[in-house]
Structure 1
Amino acid sequence: MSNLCVAHRGFSSTAPENTMAAFRLAMEQPYVTWIELDVQLSRDGVPVVIHDFSFNRTTNGEGLVRETNWSDIQKLDAGSWKSKEYTGERVPALSEVLDSCKGKVRLNIELKTQGDMYPGLPAAVIEEVRKRNMQDEVVFTSFEPAALAEAKKLAPEITTGLIIDARPGDLLARLRQLGCGFLSIGYTNVDKSLMREMKNDGIQVMAWTVDDKTIMKRLAAIDPELMLCTNRPDAWHQALQKSSNQV
């Protein structure tokens, strides 16, 4: 089992998702080679790392990310909902995450948007990545094809990838049309024929989100180049060790 381990929103089974605590914990594990995270824009245009469009679930605040200024976002507690140990964790700016991860781990940055909710999101994220010359250390992914098209137009040198939890017959055609070199797909849609089709076209595939060790091993057996995205990097490591012991 040699499949790359992607920490979903950081080491999010233990630390609060999409916080520096979760990213630091993931980076402390030598077997974590990628981190997946979500980016939106504050009201005043700062790229911030958070999954939901509102603050309600993962912070002590309320309201929409896009209607809140960065100065107010910085005051929110994004850790105590997970456990008292993480009280005071903040919603990080993308800039802070990039500075911490540069040269240590690669990043799957999801452009978290729907329709024209964040017309300036791709440009803002690209600016932060280019400032640090990290174009080869990231991929941009999204459920929203328009965001991917805009990102590819503005930064053709950065790999982009469609996120999907289905397997339509025209999937490869969609990826080609968008210029994607990456596919982020719900793990139940993965089989040998998908991997063969994507690899033949030079497209890297990541399966999400897998926390069960038995399923991890089953997916790993399909193809060693399939990336495995998990909330539980520790489970990935246990599955790896078990596989090694069986050899």
Structure 2
Amino acid sequence: MDQFSGGGGNWSMIPNVQAQGNFGTPTNHDQQLFLQQQQLQQQQQQQQQQQFHLQQQQQTQQQQQQFQPQQQQEMQQYQQFQQQQHFIQQQQFQQQQRLLQSPPLQPQSLQSPPPQQTMVHTPQSMMHTPQQQQQLVQTPVQTPQQHQSLASHFHLYPMVEKLADVIENGTRDQNSDALVNELNSHFDKCQQLLNSISGSLGSKTMTVDGQKRNVEESEQLLQQRRDLIVEYRKSIEEIVTMEH
């Protein structure tokens, strides 16, 4: 210390101590550490966000996978129903084609034993007057137009003409009896065929109506599930946008 003497006494001067380091200003090393910490924090935040998005995507995929098997089953059921309808329509069309295009049946031989006698070929019925016999013969001919194909299919018109000739002549023999029996058997076959066709058509219409109702119900269920899936996706998208 330097001493000075003055009027008021001795004065001593305190030397200035210079600061050897700047403690207030950060160094480059501190700045690098700070930047590294910030980068690590940002990376951790990004990783957390990515993990969160991955979890959400996995959840959506799992939920979609749960809905997909149900949709596939419903589509398979709908396709099977369409195939069944197509098959039924094909069967109906084939039956109609067979009725129209099948080869004619060979007439039975006149020497074949007659089947069970009906009211037409009993002895009493054959003893009627020619007018009554003509009425009995003409009644099967007056069938509706829709049955004309069956009559032509079984070759009924020639036999009816032959029977009319026999009745007009008034002669009765084995040939006329066999002709009457053959005609009756053919008409019985026609009646059985018509009954079977009408029964099959009625049953098929009932099954088709029931299948149509099942298809409508399955379509309604499919539409409801589609709407639910769309709403679920919208809600997930809204949640993701809100978090961003």
More strand by share: 1
TM (normalized to structure 1)? 0.17
TM-score normalized with structure 2 length: 0.18
- Higher-Rg member (1/2): 2
- Which is helix-richer, 1 or 2? 2
